[in-house]
Amino acid sequence: MKLPDPADAATGFEVSIVYEGEEVFHGKSLPAPAEGPEAAPGGAPTKLALPLLRGRNEVTVRTLTSPARETTFPIFYKTALRDWIESILKALIILVLIQFFVVQTFYIPTASMELTLRPGDYIMVEKVSYLFTSPSRGDVVVFQFPEDPRKDFIKRMVARERDTLEVIRKRLIVNGRELVEPYTVHMDRSEDPLGQPQYRPYRDFFGPMQVPDRSIFVMGDNRDKSHDSRMWGHLPLFRLKGKAFLVYWPFRQFGLIRHEHGPFKDLGKTPP
């Protein structure tokens, strides 16, 4: 876009605006007097307010010289309200993309992961790590529940593909060695709201089984109040949604989530 020469513009100019093929404005700006209350330095032309309409305005500027010189250029105009709305929409789109591809928030409704996560906690889950690496033992993962993919579950991964796993009197045995798990709790004698005991023997004795390829085995930290792989089997890797990394609410619980995998120890004599 080439504007008229400033030397020509000093003699004055006229402006026309065409909107959607129709001229909606035509005006002139003449040189100001060199002296008096309306004087301008060098007799520069007076300012001209342009009544722009929303959208594309074709503006033509023509000097009042002989011969006249002119140029035409577009001006795209939008109101402050529209600019504000567009900014909000862009921010929402970015937020949705982040939620879908990068980080998602979740609410913890049950006690299956106590004491690591408590009912009422709000957490953040990142979805990038497992695109490039496999989950590790001890990771706290969010996944689609295999029996109803519309539901999301959160558990701790305790065994990976081809691991042999067994639970003996609450002790977790992986590949023939006991896993020390300081993050677990057991509540055998607790009761549900209907007064029925929640103790279930298969939670204390399970297996042995080998985890299939492209699958993992997950369990809740609160072993006696968790509906996990002991009940519904291994978790296919394609069901993983991400790795939990932060509790952000309530504020007193704020902090990074522990991805712990206790040390192995050799099996001693099985207690009676």
Point out the residues that are catalytic. 112, 155
Q: Measure the CA–CA gap between 135 and 157, rounded to whole angstroms.
A: 8
Q: Measure the CA–CA gap between 125 and 99, rounded to whole angstroms.
A: 9
Q: From residue 113, give the alpha-carbon distance in Å to each of 14, 109, 144, 156, 182.
A: 75, 10, 16, 8, 13
Nearest partner of 156 among 136, 139, 173, judged by Cα = 139
Q: Measure the CA–CA gap between 34 and 264, rounded to whole angstroms.
A: 94
Q: Are the beta carbons of 45 and 9 closer than 8 angstroms?
A: yes
3-state secondary structure of 69: coil
